[in-house]
């Protein structure tokens, strides 16, 4: 089934809407939750993700599906006692009213598509149907998190979650998922969130200007590329240099994406516009002293790398990696380690000043890269196994690379959004395809066929009266 056909045929129908509230009332002294300065400067956007869980026990699909949805609801309520800000509402640019209003929770049914059909050929537009809110609108932006369960006819589930970027980065989303799944499964230690950001980076009481974002969505298209772990090892060897002898996998992959996207843009425009890439980074372990990984908030920094021209009109990969490493080192020294001083706002403004000036220039091609690699999002086991696939959902903004982990093997999955003309060149770049596969199947066909045989044997020999119409793999 083609991905466009899949997106057209698949329908997601909501059947219930609830608000899950903390099981205990938030104490009065915790009702007014302060944003940090970094939260205040964060854009008013959603951070959307979807987690896919197959049905492991097919003995009673309807009962098992109902159990899983109810179990998520029951475990979310006591979980919100510790993660109480997420059950509140954004009051103003300074604070959250932790009023226990609850997390909006939708239940939905997926029609005309089975989980494995979707996982064979993931589609960026179809992914959006699994989300609890329309990420294109500003509706319910006072909410901190929305949840939606999407149940397939085969019993599989897609768990869609939208977090407000005003308090959530990749690290916070990871802590949220680890805490919720740990409570639900009882398999891990209790996750204790740390609410230290506002004391370390105090908010400004007066209204402050958010940093500029060039959010162009005109004629953009999104494609998925997967870098297998073994291919990344080869890519890292290729881009290693005297300056950066041991590049990280994110540095290697993002540099290749940046190079190929710039080549495509320049081929279409005929110009040699300055190419710049902004990369996000987790600053929890880069402050003095380092912050706990469970610190809640938008605790990210950014660094900028510029692609300088040479006689080939393109910078070589090892040079791009070096530029990234230099930008990261400078950002750590001049940004992350100085944020806890009295001039934190000045430090942040200086960081955004250069980015803002570049964003306003017409002769600059600006790329943005974000990564959740290393955040452990595949550890979200609610008691029925880890997700078969976890994916970021593209917001559709031009010139963005969204990187996340593959489930196994140290690979990286990239959702790349470019304008349509640039993508037509980019997705056929032989340098890219040497290391990346274009939208490969998430599931292993051979193992799926073996599973189907096992299911058929069980149905035939163990329960001959089983309703075969449920077998919609």
Q: Is residue 471 in some structural domain? A: yes
Residues 162 and 268 placed together within one structural domain of the fold: no
Compute the C-alpha angle 171/38/207, nearest 5°: 145
Residues 461 and 351 placed together within one structural domain of the fold: no
Residues 59 and 97 placed together within one structural domain of the fold: yes
Integer Cα distance of 92 and 68 in angstroms: 36
Residues 281 and 406 placed together within one structural domain of the fold: yes
Is the link from the previous residue into 373 a cis peptide, with omega within 30 of 0? no
Residues 434 and 448 placed together within one structural domain of the fold: no
The backbone torsions φ and ψ at residue 23, rounded to the nearest 5 degrees and listed phi first, read -75, -15
- Cβ atoms of 386 and 379 closer than 8 Å: yes
Answer yes or no: 381 catalytic. Answer: yes
Of these residues, 100, 169, 381, 422, which one is catalytic?
Answer: 381
The backbone torsions φ and ψ at residue 460, rounded to the nearest 5 degrees and listed phi first, read -75, -45
Residues 315 and 456 placed together within one structural domain of the fold: no
Give the residue from 200, 228, 262 where a domain finishes. Answer: 200
Going residue by residue through the chain (473 aa), what tens digit of pLDDT does each one get?
Answer: 555 555 558 899 999 999 999 999 999 999 999 999 889 888 888 999 999 999 876 677 777 888 999 999 999 999 999 999 999 999 998 999 999 999 999 999 999 889 999 999 899 999 999 999 987 666 678 999 999 999 998 899 999 999 999 999 999 999 999 999 999 998 778 899 999 999 888 888 766 555 545 556 678 999 999 999 999 999 999 999 999 999 999 999 999 999 999 999 999 988 888 899 999 889 898 887 788 999 999 998 888 898 876 545 567 899 999 999 998 888 887 776 666 666 666 767 666 666 667 777 777 889 999 999 999 999 999 999 999 999 999 888 999 999 999 998 799 999 999 999 999 999 999 999 999 999 999 986 434 444 444 344 333 333 333 332 332 22
Residues 412 and 456 placed together within one structural domain of the fold: no
Residue 405 burial (CB count, 10 A):
20
Q: Is residue 29 in some structural domain? A: yes
User: Which sign does the torsion angle of CA 367, 264, 318, 365 carry?
Assistant: negative
Integer Cα distance of 281 and 170 in angstroms: 10
Instruction: Tell me how many domains the chain contains.
Output: 3
Q: Is residue 206 in some structural domain? A: no
Of these residues, 39, 100, 146, 165, which one is catalytic?
Answer: 165
Domain range for 318 is 220-438
Q: Is residue 196 in some structural domain? A: yes
Reported as type and span, the H/E element at residue 81 is: helix 61-82
Residues 6+ apart with CB under 8 A from 49: 160, 161, 173, 377, 390, 391, 392, 393
Q: Is residue 161 in some structural domain? A: yes
Q: What is the DSSP letter of 297?
A: B
Residues 384 and 452 placed together within one structural domain of the fold: no
């Amino acid at each position: 089934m083609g991905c466009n056909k899949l997106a057209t045929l698949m329908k997601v129908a909501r059947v219930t809407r609830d608000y899950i509230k903390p099981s205990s009332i938030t104490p009065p002294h915790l009702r007014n939750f302060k944003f940090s300065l970094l939260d205040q400067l964060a854009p008013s956007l959603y951070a959307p993700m979807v987690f896919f869980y197959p049905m492991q026990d097919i003995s009673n699909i309807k009962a098992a599906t109902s159990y899983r949805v109810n179990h998520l609801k029951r475990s979310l309520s006591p979980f919100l006692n510790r993660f109480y800000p997420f059950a509140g509402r954004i009051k103003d640019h300074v604070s959250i009213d932790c009023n226990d209003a609850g997390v909006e929770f939708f239940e939905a049914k997926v029609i005309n598509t089975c989980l494995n059909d979707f996982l064979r050929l993931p589609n960026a537009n179809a992914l959006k149907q699994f989300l609890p809110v329309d990420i294109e609108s500003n509706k319910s932006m006072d909410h901190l998190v929305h949840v939606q369960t999407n149940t397939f006819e085969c019993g599989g589930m897609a768990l869609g979650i939208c977090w407000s970027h005003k308090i959530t980065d990749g690290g916070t989303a990871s802590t949220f998922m680890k805490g919720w799944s740990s409570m639900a499964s009882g398999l891990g230690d209790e996750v204790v969130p740390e609410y230290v950001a506002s004391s370390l980076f105090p908010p400004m009481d007066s209204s402050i200007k958010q940093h500029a974002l060039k959010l162009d969505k005109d004629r953009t298209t999104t494609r998925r590329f997967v870098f297998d772990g073994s291919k990344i090892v080869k890519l890292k060897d290729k881009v290693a240099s005297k300056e950066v002898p041991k590049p990280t996998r994110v540095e290697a992959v993002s540099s290749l994406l940046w190079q190929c996207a710039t080549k495509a843009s320049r081929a279409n425009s005929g110009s040699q516009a300055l190419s710049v890439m902004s990369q996000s980074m987790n600053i929890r372990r880069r402050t003095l002293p380092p912050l706990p990984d469970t610190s809640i908030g938008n605790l990210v920094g950014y660094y900028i790398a510029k692609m300088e021209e040479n006689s080939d009109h393109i910078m070589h990969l090892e040079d791009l990696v070096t530029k990234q490493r230099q930008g990261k080192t400078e950002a750590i020294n001049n940004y992350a380690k100085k944020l806890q001083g009295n001039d934190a706002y000045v430090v942040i403004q200086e960081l955004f000043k250069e980015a803002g000036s570049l964003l306003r220039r017409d002769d600059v091609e600006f790329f943005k890269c974000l990564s959740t690699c290393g955040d452990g999002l595949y550890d979200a086991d609610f008691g029925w196994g880890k997700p078969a696939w976890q994916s970021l959902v593209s917001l559709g903004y031009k010139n963005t690379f969204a990187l996340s982990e593959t489930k196994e093997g140290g690979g990286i999955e990239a959702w790349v959004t470019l304008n349509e003309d640039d993508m037509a060149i980019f997705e056929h770049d032989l340098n890219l395809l040497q290391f990346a596969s274009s939208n490969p199947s998430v599931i292993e066909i051979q193992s799926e066929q073996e599973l189907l045989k096992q299911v058929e044997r069980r149905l035939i020999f163990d329960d001959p009266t089983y309703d075969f119409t449920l077998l919609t793999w």
